[in-house]
Amino acid sequence: MGQGASYFSEEEQAELLEQTSLTSKELHEIQRRYSSLDTAKSADETYGISVADILTIPEMSGCKLARLVAEKFGGKKQILYPKEAVLVFGELSSHRDPDEKVDFLFDLLDVKQIGHLGGIEMYRFYHALLSPGLSDQQIKEVTENMLRQVGTKIPIEKFREIVPPWEIAEKMTVNIQHR
């Protein structure tokens, strides 16, 4: 079941706390939750958990953008190891500034790293926000409508106008509950 107590040395914990702005209680709780999902039987190893597994954590279920963040850190194999799991929660933390969240989300959507978003990226964003409430066709229409209004190349400044930082923060925040 993983380590349970801590996957990180004191130095690694300090670095993660600084990098993520999480509290030590939150870090401990994330490790506890991770450990409960990890199927490794040895105290000194981890098999990792899938993106789908981390999304079963109750606090994640209300966060529409959690899947995109978890997929980013899960890489091609879509497996999260302890550090990546902590980083997911760090990006979704209420301690993260709304402008930082917008920048992170923009970079996450800009997979080609070309400095702007197009139709495919905006469709992916709207799909994360609006499904299953809207059909794929309806989401496509919303995306096309928006692109007709603002253009087909959306730099970060335009993205901030389309979806203000406070709205991103509202839709991209998870507060881990201590148990």
What are the phi and psi torsion angles at 178 (to 5°)?
-85, 135
Q: How confident is the model at residue 2 (pLDDT cuts 50, 70, 90)?
A: very low
Instruction: Give just the sign of the alpha carbon dihedral 91, 94, 96, 98.
Output: positive
Q: Which tokens go with 14? A: 């300090």
Q: How confident is the model at residue 117 (pLDDT cuts 50, 70, 90)?
A: very high
Q: Identify the CA nearest to 71 among candidates 41, 51, 53.
A: 51
Per-residue pLDDT of 77-106, as tens digits, reads 999 999 999 999 999 999 999 999 999 999
Cα dist from 168 to 66, 97, 106, 134, whole Å: 12, 10, 11, 19
Per-residue pLDDT of 6-33, as tens digits, reads 889 999 999 999 999 899 999 999 999 9
Instruction: Kindly state whether residues 123 and 70 are assigned to the same domain.
Output: no
- What's residue 64's pLDDT? 87
Q: Which of 48, 66, 92 delimits the end of a domain?
A: 92
Name the residue type at position 134: L
CA distance 48 to 162: 36
Q: How confident is the model at residue 45 (pLDDT cuts 50, 70, 90)?
A: confident
What is the average pLDDT score of the chain? Answer: 91
Instruction: Kindly state whether residues 75 and 52 are assigned to the same domain.
Output: yes
Instruction: Kindly state whether residues 86 and 20 are assigned to the same domain.
Output: yes
Whether 35 maps to a domain, the answer reads yes
Whether 2 maps to a domain, the answer reads no
Is residue 116 packed enough to be buried (19+ CB in 10 Å), middle (13-18) or exposed (0-12)?
A: middle
Instruction: Kindly state whether residues 75 and 40 are assigned to the same domain.
Output: yes
Which of residues 135 and 6 earns the better pLDDT score?
135
Q: Which tokens go with 153? A: 């190349």
Q: What percent of the chain lies above the pLDDT cut of 70? A: 95
Query: Where in the sequence is the domain holding 30, given as residue range(s)?
Result: 10-92
Q: How confident is the model at residue 52 (pLDDT cuts 50, 70, 90)?
A: very high
Q: How confident is the model at residue 57 (pLDDT cuts 50, 70, 90)?
A: very high
Q: What is the pTM of this model?
A: 0.88
Cβ atoms 2, 44 nearer than 8 A: no
